[in-house]
Amino acid sequence: MAEANSFFQSKEVQDFNREIEQYHLGPLWNAIPDLMHKQPKPEAVPYLWKWEVLEKKLQEATQIFTPERGGERRAIYFQNPGFQSRQPWGWASTTNTLYAAVQLILPGEEAPSHRHTQNAMRFITNGSGAYSIVDGQKIYMEEGDYLITPGGLWHGHGHEGDKPMIWMDILDIPIIYSAAGTFFEGHPDGLEKPSLPNNYSSRRYMGGHVRPISDRTPQIAPVGSYKWAQTEAALNGLSDFEPDPYDGIAVEYLNPSNGATANPTMGAWIQKLPAGFHSKAHRHTNSAIYHVYAGEGYSVINGVQYYWSKGDYFVIPNWAWHEHVNTSVEDAILFCSNDLPIMEKLNLQREEAYEKNKGYQEITSEFSPKLVR
């Protein structure tokens, strides 16, 4: 190897590499170890955002920005520190493939409808009375609901309640950006007028339990909103069963037409970590963005301890070792969004158990989250 190294560093090779640059040509012999490293090396780093910071910044944003003034949504996204060099705007990358944000809408506000090639999903964290109009269907949102807005569908939001409402958005912006597949269009009417009965698809499908017999082959998931009451019932129904050793009691949102994930490129599930639960550690090629819906505990990611409590968000980059611990006497409930469907479609999905130390990582340090001063 020493010989090979000195060959790559030799003046002859270096000069040649520089010489071909002017023709916009590149030397594979030097590039290959950086391009085809032995295992995933995501630019994304593990990170955690505290709810107190998000709440404060969203509150401040209400003083600066209104949908009326800006013609857009009041969303603040999670910029992974590993992507500062992506231009523009770090591609709003929370992981290599996914964008996530928190969005706040005030009573009476309307966020105009638009459509884009990016797929979107939402997890409702605070409040009630707001709605999303997706493809002509007005869908009311309540805490714990999960909504999908597959790419290409018109969507806009409004709020009929009397308190601010907040939710999490997850989109595949970085994937669509790198594939140069971005199309975006504003709706000619501002907020689209509903053309279907309210909550149409969830009611027709009973949340995925049955379907109208006329609906045998829909292409995209025909359920726009997955209601918390049904998700919670599913979690409770599993409470007598052995939890998954890595993720606790976890149920994934699916497209009842074909059993695939609810959104074609992004996966989402709810996982309950019973009181005192300590998962085993593993790693997988997909990345994940977590929201702490209830409870408190910590996750160990690549040996670093990330303490979390209700309202926090954290990132597990691709191929990072991780395990989750519920430190309290109450159940913890985590919402997990991930790029598993993308990895599966590209035949990249792999998973590995942590074998050392009885399956638990050794903790090397504790993460200090950035707090408001």
155 binds ligand GTQ (CB under 6 A): yes
Establish if 134 lies at the interface with ligand GTQ (CB under 6 A): no
CB nearer to ligand GTQ: give 112 or 311: 112
Instruction: Select from 145, 169, 323, 331 the one that contacts ligand GTQ (CB under 6 A).
Output: 169
Minimum CB separation from ligand GTQ for residue 167, in Å?
A: 9
> What is the closest distance, in whole angstroms, from the C-beta atom of residue 223 to ligand GTQ in the complex?
18
Closest approach, Cβ 173 to ligand GTQ, in A, equals: 7
Applying CB under 6 A, which of residues 134, 171, 175, 273 lies at the interface with ligand GTQ? 171
Q: Per CB under 6 A, which of residues 45..104 are in contact with ligand GTQ?
A: 73, 75, 101, 103
To the nearest whole angstrom, how small is the minimum distance from the Cβ of residue 149 to ligand GTQ? Answer: 7
Give, as ranges, the residues between 179 and 238 that touch ligand GTQ (CB under 6 A).
none
Show the 3-state SS of the chain: CHHHHHHHHCHHHHHHHHHHHCCCCCCHHHHHHHHCCCCCCCCCCCEEECHHHHHHHHHHHHHHCCHHHHCCCCEEECCCHHHCCCCCHHHHCCCCCCEEEEEEECCCCEEEEEEECCCEEEEEEECCCEEEEECCEEEECCCCCEEEECCCCCEEEEECCCCCEEEEEEECHHHHHHCCCCCEEECCCCCCCCCCCCCHHHHHHHHHCCCCCCCCCCCCCCCCEECHHHHHHHHHHCCCCCCECCCEEEEECECCCCCCECCCCCEEEEEEECCCCECCCEEECCCEEEEEEECEEEEEECCEEEEEECCCEEEECCCCCEEEEECCCCCEEEEEEECHHHHHHCCCCCEEECCHHHHCCCCCEECCCCCCC
Shortest-Cβ-distance residue relative to ligand GTQ: 169
User: Smallest distance from the beta carbon of 75 to ligand GTQ, in angstroms?
Assistant: 4
CB of 43 to ligand GTQ, least distance (A): 21
* Cβ nearer to ligand GTQ, comparing 73 with 284: 73
Query: Does the footprint of ligand GTQ cover residue 135 (CB under 6 A)?
Result: no
Nearer to ligand GTQ, 147 or 320 (CB): 147
Per CB under 6 A, residues contacting ligand GTQ are: 73, 75, 101, 103, 120, 155, 169, 171
